[in-house]
Structure 1
């Protein structure tokens, strides 16, 4: 019997070698020529010989089919300096966190969204060699996905199709995907019937922009067979270009079997002042809220609903209040927020929103009524009511005509033009400081310049001089690093020194403030450099 160089018969099955290796040669010995047991060295040597034999006998497999070539991207390439900067930002993203104090160096990770937005606005294409790192960054941070997918373009989607870890790009929302082709009715129908959910959402959005009626008809054709969660997403696409032509479809959606779909349909209908639902809600609300002339001064009388009947529920009124809310106040708020705001001007003799929100409200209903008016102003995008409910920025929030909630105020501010919004927030910060300004700043356009930028810097300077806890302002400081106009860097440089700590100040606050301002200045200068790199336009492949 032929044997290998160790004496183990060549006919010994591979499975016997594996079993002996796993159990040990003492428990499962192999026999060499003559019947003696093979030791560990002989076993390993025999396995090596058998491995060579097995590999030599393998037949070559058929090669995998090559993928289709990546599509062309006609956008211009990045300038060389900007390409190097992007590589630096992405490399810093994968670095482990340092922990402890942040120090004075800019946080490059927080500058990635801004860099991507600037590059996208200039119409550059992503460097091919950085596409994997970009997709990895978007996989880790969902807030980056819209910018990354737009910047990566068709090549990024092509590459994502080759790696399961990047499959999020293939099902991403339409905001992060190129618009599908919508000129061929046959392609439209095929994509709507057979496409992925994200592709269908993108298709519906694209059609809605070009032909709202065609988009609505497409949705109506398959509405009954769609899943509830999909119906909700599709219905949300009707917000774009919402008009009276959508009313009939939305009225039918009020009878949907999904409560969320019914609620969204009712919300959209209430945003149409001439819709039948808006008139029904107005009729209900005006039985609850009326002028009260029993005293010497005109006031607002309120009689909240005593029941939530089936008709109210069909029109989107949720019958069960959240914990801590009374039923009647809950129902009243929903009726008022769904009522066209113009109804109140008519109901109160043509008085303006500013006059109405200043009227006294009977029986302690002012908070509930004003909160509902705030929600109505946001839903109906009414800047006149938003101004009235915000009041003067110098008025303390607790004494304002509308709401003291920073979240609700930020929603009201979002209905105003960007310039007016920034001036209001600047006045608020000048009067009240930064304690309640974080959410308000979040709805202001970037970069903050002019009065808004100066008010933020001045408020930070005042807090520094007062010896306040610097970490109490870390959120605003982080926003300032990303949103202040880079031109503010030179004005801020004088604040980078360590100030004398006033009596009663937090121990070590001066050093923290100095670090924070040094980091702010260095970040603003880096942002200016990044903008200059993107503006050079000397890109090469």
Structure 2
């Protein structure tokens, strides 16, 4: 009896291992049909359905004994193990063709882009192999190759190269695992990736993410096909179609959306409405004005936000009138802004997107006041407040308790309307104090305001901020700057890192900054950083908590990454020999 139990346990473990291996190779399957029959009409052990083998292994051959698990001259456990081994090999080898076999799919569209240079192709294979292996270890001095793939793809797209066919599966797997890679990866992969995605369910995201990529989806120029897909397609297919149309013909996309608007679900209406942000113009106002009466509060709020982004819209005019009644100049004494917040939120305000109920710990009047000013065109204020410039208006004193509310609402309006002049005034000087709470002095608000400035001016402002305040509060601000960083910004970051090293700080306190520097610092800074990788001269009595070795490793990693980025760029841009 004991030997039977041991045999049953060993059989169960072996079959469970084979099950796991087969599942890893082929995924979960439904029941399989039995194979060839023995002379008495029963399936042979090696052709038993997989589920039957698993059941027999789990229960034990002594409890599930039958002629199907016995073989001539052998034991039942041995026959079961042999059957599991054969079935595992068959499952790993592939599927038997259906009867009748399906016809071959049509070939993929041709990709006329030039092939990658050999060195760049090898580099891409290396980056994809590291990602498939689980990424690099963040400790040590070796560069993190997984974080360099987005930059590699961006440069390859700029150069107009086609993806190597043999690397398309790994590229699609990478895009499946990282949604931030998908736009660039699919654009680089080209039409063959969409062709592959029709054959592998794991890559179906490519059909949803690429305009016109779904199987059988029409070209934007195919009016009949577009109408059919819009009426019959899945939500993801319709969203991709609407996005593609919006880029090419905004009016046609809006008309298509209006044709079924009243029959769409509320959550779908909200997502479709958000697609109108691309190419938003005065022509969209009638449609958005109708959406203000939508039965969904979220849809109404989004429509109001989009309308307030159009300074010439009727809603913007109504909000300007309401906001102007709340803000004025003092009639006596020194110039000062006085605030009289609204006393109620009427039906007209709610229709125009004002949310009546404030969040917890927020007063009603200040909540309504902020929403009104946020939606009012910024051009309202110079005329309303004595013809002053934005800089002069921001500098004016405000009634006690209302300065943060007023400036915070102006900040949100400047971000919504992408007004560089007001953003510049609200940001102030880079060296101005950093404070907590709402208003123009918070780091979060400053980061959003920086997005409205030109790229070069944005980098200069952040460089000035780092020079004045160091790196501790600069991560959000650096994240708004385009890569590669400009010379002044890169120099400010390196100087601040050097100062932190000399002050005895730990490099992992700046891990986020170091990660950004690896991706965004100009590779030309590698020469300067190389000097920082050399250990400093020894001191007679070093402190017990010396961080010199840690900083040396961190700078070695940063320098190595910059040189690798430089090599990658050269491989993609060097003229073919």
The reply to whether TM is greater than 0.5 is: yes
Residue number in structure 2 paired with 1:431 = 468
**Residue from 374, 381, 397 that aligns with 2:434:** 397
Work out whether 1:415 is the aligned partner of 2:448.
Answer: no
Q: How far apart are residue 537 of structure 1 and its match?
A: 4.9
**Residue from 142, 148, 163 that aligns with 1:111:** 148
CA distance in 2, matches of 1:60, 1:228: 42
**Residue from 254, 257, 264 that aligns with 1:216:** 254
Residue number in structure 2 paired with 1:475 = 512
Residue number in structure 2 paired with 1:259 = 297
Greater mean deviation of Cα atoms: 394-403 or 62-71: 394-403
CA distance in 1, matches of 2:98, 2:190: 38
Change (3 A) 1:25 1:256: closer
Are 1:357 and 1:402, in contact at CA under 8 Å, matched by a contact in 2?
A: no
**Residue from 507, 514, 525 that aligns with 2:552:** 514
Q: Residues 274-289 of structure 1 correspond to what in structure 2 (within 5 A)? A: 274-289=312-327
Q: How far apart are residue 103 of structure 1 and its match?
A: 0.8
* 3-state SS in 1 of match to 2:285: helix
* 3-state SS in 1 of match to 2:328: strand
Q: How far apart are residue 265 of structure 1 and its match?
A: 0.5
Are 1:388 and 1:401, in contact at CA under 8 Å, matched by a contact in 2?
A: no
Change (3 A) 1:12 1:221: closer
**Residue from 201, 204, 207 that aligns with 1:164:** 201
Are 1:447 and 1:483, in contact at CA under 8 Å, matched by a contact in 2?
A: yes
Change (3 A) 1:247 1:12: closer
* 3-state SS in 1 of match to 2:387: coil
CA distance in 1, matches of 2:482, 2:213: 21
Are 1:254 and 1:265, in contact at CA under 8 Å, matched by a contact in 2?
A: yes
Q: Residues 83-122 of structure 1 correspond to what in structure 2 (within 5 A)? A: 83-96=121-134, 102-122=139-159
Greater mean deviation of Cα atoms: 315-324 or 185-194: 185-194
Residue number in structure 2 paired with 1:494 = 531
Are 1:318 and 1:331, in contact at CA under 8 Å, matched by a contact in 2?
A: yes
Greater mean deviation of Cα atoms: 188-197 or 472-481: 188-197
Instruction: List per-residue Cα deviations over 1:357-387 (Å, max 9, x = no partner).
Output: 1111102100011000000000011111000
Q: Residues 291-370 of structure 1 correspond to what in structure 2 (within 5 A)? A: 291-294=329-332, 296-370=333-407
Instruction: List per-residue Cα deviations over 1:283-310 (Å, max 9, x = no partner).
Output: 211221111133x211111121222222
**Residue from 255, 258, 276 that aligns with 1:238:** 276
Are 2:323 and 2:373, in contact at CA under 8 Å, matched by a contact in 1?
A: yes
CA distance in 1, matches of 2:496, 2:300: 46
* 3-state SS in 1 of match to 2:209: coil
Residue number in structure 1 paired with 2:239 = 201
**Residue from 70, 74, 77 that aligns with 1:41:** 74
Are 1:496 and 1:517, in contact at CA under 8 Å, matched by a contact in 2?
A: yes
Change (3 A) 1:50 1:305: closer
Runs of 4+ in structure 1 over 6 Å off: 15-31, 37-40, 44-51, 175-180, 500-506
Are 1:334 and 1:372, in contact at CA under 8 Å, matched by a contact in 2?
A: yes
Change (3 A) 1:270 1:177: farther
Instruction: List per-residue Cα deviations over 1:467-516 (Å, max 9, x = no partner).
Output: 11211111011000000111111011111123369999782421111111
CA distance in 2, matches of 1:38, 1:140: 46
Residue number in structure 1 paired with 2:178 = 141
Are 2:212 and 2:241, in contact at CA under 8 Å, matched by a contact in 1?
A: no
Q: How far apart are residue 45 of structure 1 and its match?
A: 9.6
Are 2:459 and 2:486, in contact at CA under 8 Å, matched by a contact in 1?
A: no
Instruction: List per-residue Cα deviations over 1:39-61 (Å, max 9, x = no partner).
Output: 9837689999999xxx9xx9994
Are 2:194 and 2:213, in contact at CA under 8 Å, matched by a contact in 1?
A: no
* 3-state SS in 2 of match to 1:364: coil
Change (3 A) 1:40 1:26: farther
Residue number in structure 1 paired with 2:228 = 190
Residue number in structure 2 paired with 1:448 = 485
* 3-state SS in 2 of match to 1:528: helix
Are 1:157 and 1:169, in contact at CA under 8 Å, matched by a contact in 2?
A: yes
Unpaired segments ≥5 residues, structure 2: 1-37, 85-89, 91-95
CA distance in 2, matches of 1:109, 1:45: 47
The alignment's TM-score, normalised by the length of structure 2, stands at 0.82
Change (3 A) 1:60 1:98: closer
CA distance in 2, matches of 1:256, 1:154: 40
Are 2:439 and 2:445, in contact at CA under 8 Å, matched by a contact in 1?
A: no
Q: How far apart are residue 167 of structure 1 and its match?
A: 1.4
Unpaired segments ≥5 residues, structure 1: 1-8, 32-36
The alignment's TM-score, normalised by the length of structure 1, stands at 0.87
CA distance in 2, matches of 1:30, 1:209: 67
Are 2:198 and 2:207, in contact at CA under 8 Å, matched by a contact in 1?
A: yes
Are 1:150 and 1:177, in contact at CA under 8 Å, matched by a contact in 2?
A: no
CA distance in 2, matches of 1:358, 1:24: 84
Work out whether 1:11 is the aligned partner of 2:40.
Answer: yes
CA distance in 2, matches of 1:225, 1:27: 59
CA distance in 2, matches of 1:60, 1:397: 68
CA distance in 1, matches of 2:377, 2:152: 42
CA distance in 2, matches of 1:414, 1:92: 34
Change (3 A) 1:304 1:38: closer
* 3-state SS in 2 of match to 1:398: coil
**Residue from 67, 73, 81 that aligns with 2:111:** 73
CA distance in 2, matches of 1:262, 1:501: 67
CA distance in 1, matches of 2:144, 2:310: 45
Change (3 A) 1:29 1:86: closer
Instruction: List per-residue Cα deviations over 1:374-417 (Å, max 9, x = no partner).
Output: 00000011111000000011212239995222222111111011
Q: How far apart are residue 235 of structure 1 and its match?
A: 1.4
Work out whether 1:249 is the aligned partner of 2:287.
Answer: yes
CA distance in 1, matches of 2:249, 2:457: 33
Are 1:244 and 1:272, in contact at CA under 8 Å, matched by a contact in 2?
A: yes
Q: How far apart are residue 65 of structure 1 and its match?
A: 2.6
